[in-house]
Amino acid sequence: MKLQDARILLTGGSLGIGRETAKVLVAAGARVVITGRDAARLRKAAGTTGAFAVVADVGNPDDIERTYQQAMDHLGGLDCLINNAGIGTFQELQAVTLDEFERTFRVNVYGPALMAARAVSIFKKQRSHGSIVNIGSTAALKGFPGGTVYGASKFALRGMTECWQTELRKHNIRVMLINPSEVATAFFDGKEHEAAPNKLSTAEIAHVIKSVLEMDDRGLIPELAVWATNPW
């Protein structure tokens, strides 16, 4: 897709991969709407990236409805959805609770599905190409100790992505999954971190997202894993 004047909705745009991706896409000429739960942090990100901010929680269906109302009012249409918002919880199996499952799946699974459903409706109504990029994790490729809840949510996102790819190709809608490994982000503590020499940077993941979007609409990269060479 051509990024110049492309209309893009990106969830989880306050910090980390989301904010850096918004910055890169705006610099390429795209019109970008970002969402996030923290109003002050989101508006700061909008100011530094040039994106338009919508304060919203993807885990809340009412917020999703409002997100699309405000995004469509601002953009006038939609060419791409980037499902980037996500949370993580990591505990051994004996400590897992239903509340943690529900909280994590609401943001990492249910939210992306509902966001994508609305995007697809818009793409079909526009009778044009559309793109959905899901930001997953290499945690969806192999289990790990303490990953019961988070890993399950990312495995679920990966499974949904494969279903959408099969379902939507005939409508010229591309669905792509990016699986980063160890990235220096604000994921765990809400604070920005410089990329350690052995970890990926948010800029590198943003570059990957931009690159897969820039492929001509006749083709897509179904899934791409980005591994830190030696994170240990």
The answer to whether residue 220 is domain-embedded is yes
pLDDT score, position 196: 77
The answer to whether residue 232 is domain-embedded is no
The answer to whether residue 2 is domain-embedded is no
Q: Tell me how far CA of residue 164 lies from CA of 79, 125, 133, 168, 181, in angstroms.
A: 16, 17, 11, 6, 23
pLDDT score, position 47: 98
Supply the range of the domain harboring residue 135. Answer: 7-226
The answer to whether residue 131 is domain-embedded is yes
Q: Work out the angle between the directed axes of helices 16-27 and 39-49 (0-180°, nearest 10).
A: 30
The answer to whether residue 122 is domain-embedded is yes
The answer to whether residue 100 is domain-embedded is yes
Residue 193 pLDDT greater than 70, yes or no:
no
pLDDT score, position 7: 98
150 is catalytic: yes
Alpha helices in 50-147 (DSSP H): 61-75, 98-105, 111-126
- Catalytic annotation, pick one of 150, 175, 176, 179: 150
What sign for the dihedral angle of Cα 193, 197, 200, 203?
A: positive
Domain count, the chain: 1
The answer to whether residue 1 is domain-embedded is no
Both tokens of 6, joined, read: 């492309």
High-pLDDT (> 70) share of the chain, %? 95
pLDDT score, position 43: 97
Question: At 176, which CATH number?
Answer: 3.40.50.720
Q: Write the pLDDT tens digit of every residue in 123-150.
A: 999 998 999 999 999 999 999 999 999 9
The answer to whether residue 87 is domain-embedded is yes
Residue 189 pLDDT greater than 70, yes or no:
no
Task: Calculate mean pLDDT across residues 71-84.
Answer: 98
pTM assigned to the model: 0.94
